[in-house]
Structure 1
Amino acid sequence: MKSNRVLLVSIITIIILLAASILISVTYDSYRFYNGLAGSLAMSPDDEEIAFSYYENGDMEMYTSNREGNHIEQVSHSPDGDVTNPEFSPDGEELLYLSASSQRVSSIFIQDRGTKKTEQITGEDIHIEDAVFSPDSEMIYYIGIAAEDWQAEDGEAAGGFDLFAYDRESETTKQLSKQNYYIMDNLSVDPNNSFLLYSSFEEDTEEVMSFSLNDDPDISTEMERFTGEVYNPTLSPDGEALAYSVMVDNSVGNDSYEYELFLFDTDSGNRQRLTNTNTNVEAPVFFHEDDRMLFLKDRDWPEDPVNYSLHSINLDNRETERISINGLEEQGTPLFYASAAAFSNRYVAISLYSLLGILLTIVWNYRQKTYRPAVTSFVLSSLLFLSSLFSPLFDPWGMLGLGNLAGSLAVCSLIILAFAYILKRFRPAP
C-alpha cells in the first residue's frame, strides 16, 4: 500500500512538473532579462572599431568597441530597446542602424560619430529590414515593406519587400524594384555602385540575388552564376569575395542542423569552407585593410536564447581568435530567469515525459497491460507526424515544429517501450 502511494505521488508530481515545463516554454520570453550579444555586426573602414547590437536586461541597443573588445560605448538609447543592423559610412564618420518602434516598425537612424547627433531617416509608414550606404555616402539603399503590410496577419498583406534608394541631398526616395518578396534581407552594394546583392526566397530556397544600378553593372560571370541555398551573404569591401553560411551535413545525429562559414571568390568561382565549429555561425563581416573576417558563433545552438561569442578569422591560415567584449560579457542573466529558461529546455520536458511513461508502465504492469503507455505514446507521436504533413497548408513553419515534436515523442516512446520490455521480462505482473 505504501509503495502504491509513493508511486501515485510520484506520478502526480511528474505531471505537475511536466505541465509547468510546457507552460513556461510556451509563455516564457527567454530574452526578457537576457544579457548577451545579438546577431548583427559592423567593422569601421580603418578596421579599428566594431559596432554590434547587444542585449542588456532584455533591451537590445547598439554599442561600439575597439577591435580588441575594449573601450565600450553605447551608441543608441532606444525607448523600445530593439536596435540592429549597424553599418559604418565609407569614411567612418557616420554609423547607420535600425531601431524598431513599439509597433515593431524599424526605421533608419544615422549618428554622426563626432558630434553624436542622431538623425532619423525613415518614418513609421515603412518597415526597414536592412540598409547600406552607397560607396560615396550620397545614397542609402534599403530593403523595405509598407508598415501596414508588415503588421498584417499572414495571408492578409497586399505587398512585400522591395529595394529603395534614399537621396540624402534631396531627401527623396525612389523605389528600385517591384518584386514584393515574402522574405528579403542581407543587403550589400559593390564598391563601384553598379549593383546590389541581397537574399530572398525563390522556390522555397534562400538565394543570392542581384539588382543592377546602371546599364553596365560590374558583376562577374561567376557571381551571376552563383547558386545555392545560403544564409547571411555578405560582399567584401573590394567586391572580390562573398562570405556566407551554409547548412552542412549533420553527422552528430541530433535533430538540429549546423551552419558553417564559406568564402566564394567572385572571379574564379572557387568556394572554400572557413569554419568547423559544429554549431551555428552567423553575421560574417569583412575587415577592410586586413585579410580577416568577424563572425558570431552560437554556443548553445539551437536553444533559445542565443549565446553568441564574437570571433575573428584569418583568411590566409584559417586561424580563429575569440574577441571578448570586456565590460559587457561579465553580466549574466538573473538567476531566477536563467533557472526558468533552463526548466523550459526541451530536454527537461523530454526527460519528464519519459519518466512519466515509465511510472505509468509500472502501474499498467499490475494490470497485465505493460505496453499500453508505450503504444499510446507511439500513437500520439504518429498523429503529430501526420499533422505536420498538413500543417504547411495553414502555417509554413508548422511542419518543422510539429515534426520535431513528433520526433522527440518517438524517442521517448522507444525509451518507454524498452523499459516495458525489461519490466515484463524480468518482473512480470503479479
Structure 2
Amino acid sequence: MQRSRLIKTLIGVVALLFVISLLYGFFRDDDPYKYFTGMGKGISISPDDQTLAFSYYTDGKEAIYTANMDGSNIEKITQSEGKRLHHPAYSLDGKHLLYLSENEDGIHSLFIANHDGSEARQLSNEDSHIKDAVFSPADETIYYIAMNAKDFKKEPGETSEGFDLFSTDLGGKEKKQLTDKDRFSMNHLSVSPDGEHVYFSAFDGNKEVLRSFSVTDEKVDQTMMPRGRSRDNSVYNAQLSPGGKKFAFTTVSEESMESSLFEYELFLMDKNSGDTKRLTDLGTAVDSPVFFHKQNKLAFLEHTNWSSEPAKYRLHTVDLDSKDIETIDLQMPNSQTSKWLAKTLDQAVNGYTLGVLYIILFGLITLLIQAGGKRSVYLPAFISFGIAIAIFISSFVVAVIGNPWIGIGLGMLAAFVFVFSVMIWIFAIVIKRAVRRRE
C-alpha cells in the first residue's frame, strides 16, 4: 500500500511537470535571438574604406552601428524602438545609408538615413516585405527586392506569389515594379558601375543562380555560372566588385558535400569568363562578403557556430592576391542584463525534457499496474502506441486539408512517440520477468 501511494505521488508530480513543460513550450516565444548579444548579419563599407556599418544585438535588441575598419570608435547610429534593424548599405557618395527594420511578425520595411543615422525616413510600409536594397551608382535610385507582406506570412505552398525587383527614388515616392516573376527565392543585389544592370541570385528549381536585369530593356537577360566548380554551381551572397569585373560569392565546399553538414566557403569569380578561385578554407560558413572600394580586399562574416542559432559571427578581411585572412575585433557593449531565470527555463524545457518526462510517466504507470496486479502490465505501452498512431493519422489530415509543414512536424512527433512506446513496452517486459523470477 505504501509503495502504491509513493508511485501515485510520483505519477502526479511527473504528470504535473509534463503538463507545465508542454504548456510552457507551446506558449513561449521560440525566437533564438530574444536574449542574444552579438553581431547581426549584413555589413557595408563606406566609399572611402574608413568606416564599417553593421548590425549588433544587445539583449535581443538589434540596431545599426558604425566602426573604424580596425574595430575602434564604435558608435550606435540608430534606435531600434522595439524593432530589429539590420542589413545596412552605404550610398556610393557615402552620404546616405539604407537599412531594414523588422517588426514582430518578421516583416521588413525599408529605411533611408544620413550616414550618421540622422533624419531616418521610412520608404516602404508594412504591406510589403523587403528582402534586400541597394543604391544605384548615381545615388538617385534605390533598387530593392520585395513581395506582398500577407503572402510572405503564408506557409510555403499556400501562395503562388513571390519576390520581384522594384525601384524607387530617394524619397520613396516614385515606386516601380521591374519584374513580374514571383520568385520563390531572390537575394543579394548589386548594380554595375554604369548603372545598366542589376544583379541578383535566384533559385531556378535546382540551384541558386546569378541573374542580370537590364535597366534599359527592363528584362532579365543573363545567367552567369562559375567555372571550375565540378559539382555544386550554386551562388550565394553574390556581390559585384566596385570595378564591375569580379563577383565574390559563397558556395558549398567540395570536401563537405558528402558530409551531413555543408560548409560554405568564399570564392571569387571573373564576371566575363566565369573563372573561379577559392579564397577561404575555414570549415564553417562564410556570409555577407563585401568589397573594399580602394583596396584589393574583401570583408566577410564567419558563422563560427554553424549551423546553430543564434548565429555567432566573427568579422574578417581577406587579401584577394595573397588570400591572407585577418580578424577585426570589435569592442562592442556586453549584455546589460543576465535574465538567468528565463534563459534557464528555455534551456531546460525542450524536446528531450518532454520525451524523458513522457517515458518516466508511462513507466511509473506501468509499475503502478504491476503493483495492483489487476490489469495487463502492457496496457500503458499499448495506450502509448495508440497515441502514436492517432498523431500519425492526424499528420496526414493536417497535411491534406491544412498546413503541410505542420503535418510533417506531426509525423516526426508520431515517430518519436512510437520509439518511446517501444521503450515503455520493453520496460514492461523487464518488470514482468523480474516479478516472475521473484515469485
TM-score interval, normalised by the smaller of the two chains: 0.7 to 0.9
How far the C-alpha of 1:178 sits from its partner, in A, is 1.1
2-structure distance, mates of 1:11, 1:250:
46
2:366 corresponds to? 361
What residue ranges of structure 1 are gaps of 5+ in the alignment?
none
Q: Quick check: 2:21–2:349 contact (8 Å CA) kept in 1?
A: yes
2:14 corresponds to? 14
313 and 72 in structure 1: CA distance in 2 versus 1, 3 angstrom threshold = closer
How far the C-alpha of 1:101 sits from its partner, in A, is 5.5
How far the C-alpha of 1:381 sits from its partner, in A, is 3.7
2-structure distance, mates of 1:245, 1:418:
46
Number of aligned positions between the proteins: 421
Scaled by the length of structure 2, the TM-score of the pair is 0.76
How far the C-alpha of 1:97 sits from its partner, in A, is 0.2
Amino acid of the structure 1 residue aligned with 2:42: L
2:283 corresponds to? 276
SS in 2 for 1:71: coil
2-structure distance, mates of 1:365, 1:319:
69
How far the C-alpha of 1:229 sits from its partner, in A, is 9.1
2-structure distance, mates of 1:225, 1:384:
48
Amino acid of the structure 2 residue aligned with 1:164: F
* Pair 1:27 & 2:27 matched: yes
Q: How many percent identity over aligned positions?
A: 28
Amino acid of the structure 1 residue aligned with 2:283: N
2:249 corresponds to? 243
* Pair 1:285 & 2:289 matched: yes
SS in 2 for 1:397: helix
* Pair 1:43 & 2:44 matched: yes
2-structure distance, mates of 1:27, 1:202:
37
How far the C-alpha of 1:338 sits from its partner, in A, is 0.8
Q: Quick check: 2:210–2:223 contact (8 Å CA) kept in 1?
A: no
1:412 corresponds to? 420
RMSD between superposed Cα atoms in Å = 4.2
* Pair 1:349 & 2:354 matched: yes
Q: Quick check: 2:88–2:98 contact (8 Å CA) kept in 1?
A: yes
Q: Quick check: 1:391–1:398 contact (8 Å CA) kept in 2?
A: yes
Q: Quick check: 1:95–1:110 contact (8 Å CA) kept in 2?
A: yes
How far the C-alpha of 1:224 sits from its partner, in A, is 11
How far the C-alpha of 1:19 sits from its partner, in A, is 1.9
How far the C-alpha of 1:85 sits from its partner, in A, is 1.8
How far the C-alpha of 1:74 sits from its partner, in A, is 1.6
Correspondence 1:175-324 to 2 at 5 A = 175-200=177-202, 202-203=204-205, 209-214=211-216, 221-222=224-225, 232-237=236-241, 238=244, 240-244=246-250, 246=252, 260-261=264-265, 263=267, 265-266=269-270, 267-268=273-274, 270=276, 274-277=281-284, 281=285, 283-288=287-292, 289=295, 291-297=297-303, 299=305, 301-302=307-308, 306-312=310-316, 314=318
Between 113-122 and 213-222, report the one with greater CA deviation: 213-222
How far the C-alpha of 1:345 sits from its partner, in A, is 2.5
2-structure distance, mates of 1:20, 1:232:
43
Between 315-324 and 136-145, report the one with greater CA deviation: 315-324
How far the C-alpha of 1:285 sits from its partner, in A, is 2.2
1-structure distance, mates of 2:99, 2:306:
27
Q: Quick check: 1:195–1:217 contact (8 Å CA) kept in 2?
A: no
2-structure distance, mates of 1:400, 1:271:
40
2-structure distance, mates of 1:60, 1:35:
9
2-structure distance, mates of 1:166, 1:301:
36
327 and 100 in structure 1: CA distance in 2 versus 1, 3 angstrom threshold = closer
Amino acid of the structure 1 residue aligned with 2:264: E
Q: Quick check: 2:37–2:334 contact (8 Å CA) kept in 1?
A: yes
Between 151-160 and 94-103, report the one with greater CA deviation: 151-160
- Of 66, 75, 82, which residue of structure 2 is paired with 1:64? 66
How far the C-alpha of 1:163 sits from its partner, in A, is 0.8
Q: Quick check: 2:213–2:222 contact (8 Å CA) kept in 1?
A: no
2:57 corresponds to? 55
2-structure distance, mates of 1:299, 1:39:
14
How far the C-alpha of 1:286 sits from its partner, in A, is 2.8
How far the C-alpha of 1:156 sits from its partner, in A, is 8.1
Larger Rg: 2
